[in-house]
Amino acid sequence: MDHKIKIRKAVPEDVHIIHQFIKELAEFEKLFDQVKTSRQDLQKVLFGEKSFVEVLIAEYDKLPAGYALFFPNFSTFIGKPGIYLEDLFVKTEYRSKGIGKALMEAVISLAKDRNCGRVEWSVLNWNKSAIDFYIARGAQHLEDWQIFRLTKDKF
């Protein structure tokens, strides 16, 4: 890993950075209008009493450059826990420096340490650079599976 890259676990003081990363990711994905979370929401879910979401922060030359946000899931078929990678984002100006790779490796290392059976995530079908990035790391595209979502207004 590039000695300029540092991956660390997020701390409560990072909430403003994480919130900014989320907004930048949403803008990149053309989904900015869907961002409803606040710093207070993130503080509760990431560092509150019932926290189950984790974040790794990537720094480049000691500056925040990207993040990975993830949480546990479970596979009944393999009978093991897993990790669902909700967000993997590197700021535009820091891309192609190995930061995304370092974040992925850190999440995979945690999965190994926790005896997880797999790491899963979703990627927008138009995001060719992300798809290529994941495939280059050995990820399998599950073409037979489709994502469904039920939102709170439909509960």
Residue 61: per-residue pLDDT = 96
**Reduced to 3 states, what is the DSSP secondary structure of residue 118?**
strand
Query: Over 80: is that where the pLDDT of 2 sits?
Result: no
Report pLDDT digits (tens) over 52-101: 999 999 999 999 999 999 999 999 999 999 999 999 999 999 999 999 99
Complete DSSP assignment for 75-89: ETTTTEEEEEEEEEE
Query: Over 80: is that where the pLDDT of 127 sits?
Result: yes
Query: Over 70: is that where the pLDDT of 1 sits?
Result: no
Catalytic residues: 134
Q: CA 61, CA 89: separation in Å to the nearest integer?
A: 17
Q: Among 8-22, 24-38, 141-155, name the one with the lowest average pLDDT.
A: 141-155
| CA dihedral sign of residues 40, 42, 47, 52 | positive
The mean pLDDT of 127-133, rounded to a whole number, is: 93
Decide: 85 and 68 in contact? Cβ < 8 Å.
Answer: yes
Domains and CATH numbers, the chain: 5-154 (3.40.630.30)
Q: What is the pTM of this model?
A: 0.94
